[in-house]
Amino acid sequence: MKAIANKLWEATRLFTVIYREPARFAVYLLVNIIAGALGLLAPIATGLYIDPDLLRDVTSVMRDGNGYTFALALLAASGAFLINDAVARKKTSYVNLRIIAGCLALTLLLCLAFYSGMHSFAKFSETAFQAIGPGSRSGAPNYVWTSRETWQAWLLLAVVGYAIWLFCLRHVDDHEDYYQDLRDKRSKLIRRSRAANTGSGIEA
């Protein structure tokens, strides 16, 4: 359990790259995520302008599978940057973690492609749409938010979070001295804790 906890700590602390690279992260956030999500945001904004109904507009966009489309593009781009850096650099830190991250990115891409295909098929089935009422003033039907949209939304949020983590992993080499210092400090704390537990007769 301690080994797993240490690995998780190693992985999650990479998010600190964000505050060490604020300008670079701001550009990444603006270009890769916000600009990349215009296919999601533009229809929602247009719908709100024409006939305000946030739930209807968000449901309609998710029902069209735009969340899967954005998630696939974002994850593919983030994974490609990671692979290119691994190939270009002869020596890099977190080699094993980069390999695991690449395999996980590939797995997520395959899952997203599968769910996107299933979603597209279900969209044209008789049970895909659940209309309520005669529709809005714009003439578009109101759709019920279902478990399909919930699943797509959770996958989208997970991919965005993972893409940000991949960004941090990509730039961690620029601050290796800082993270090596953190590793040394953590190792000292662990050794002191074990020594204290051993001295008090408690198994480490």
23's tokens? 């300008």
pLDDT above 70 covers a percentage of the chain that reads 66
- pLDDT class for 161, splitting at 50, 70, 90? very high
> Which segments of the chain are extended strands (E)?
131-132, 142-143
Query: Above 50 in pLDDT, residue 204?
Result: no
Tokens 């279900």 sit on residue: 122
What length is written for the chain? 204
- Least confident span in 12-21, 90-99, 123-132, 136-145: 123-132
- pLDDT class for 8, splitting at 50, 70, 90? confident
Give the residue-averaged pLDDT of 108-135.
Answer: 67
Give the residue-averaged pLDDT of 184-199.
Answer: 59
Sign of the dihedral defined by the CA atoms of residues 152, 154, 158, 160, in that order: positive
Residue 142 has what DSSP assignment?
E
Greater model confidence, 82 or 157: 157
CB 74 within 8 A of CB 160: yes
22's tokens? 């604020």
What pLDDT sits at residue 44?
86
Q: Which H or E run contains 29? A: none
CB 67 within 8 A of CB 152: yes
Q: What share of the chain is helix, strand, coil (3-state, %, to 5)?
A: 80, 0, 20
C-alpha span between 12 and 101 (Å, rounded): 13
Query: Above 80 in pLDDT, residue 72?
Result: yes
- pLDDT class for 19, splitting at 50, 70, 90? confident
Mean pLDDT, the chain, integer: 76
Alpha-carbon distances, residue 128 vs 56, 59, 124, 131, 133 (angstroms): 15, 12, 6, 10, 16
Tokens 């990444």 sit on residue: 28
Give the residue-averaged pLDDT of 29-47.
Answer: 88
pLDDT digit string (tens) for 48-63?
788 777 888 888 888 8
What pLDDT sits at residue 147?
80
Give the residue-averaged pLDDT of 83-95.
Answer: 68
In a 13 Å sphere around the CA of 27, the CA atoms on its Cβ side amount to: 3
pTM of the model: 0.73
From 189, 22, 168, select the one nearest 93 (Cα to Cα).
Answer: 168
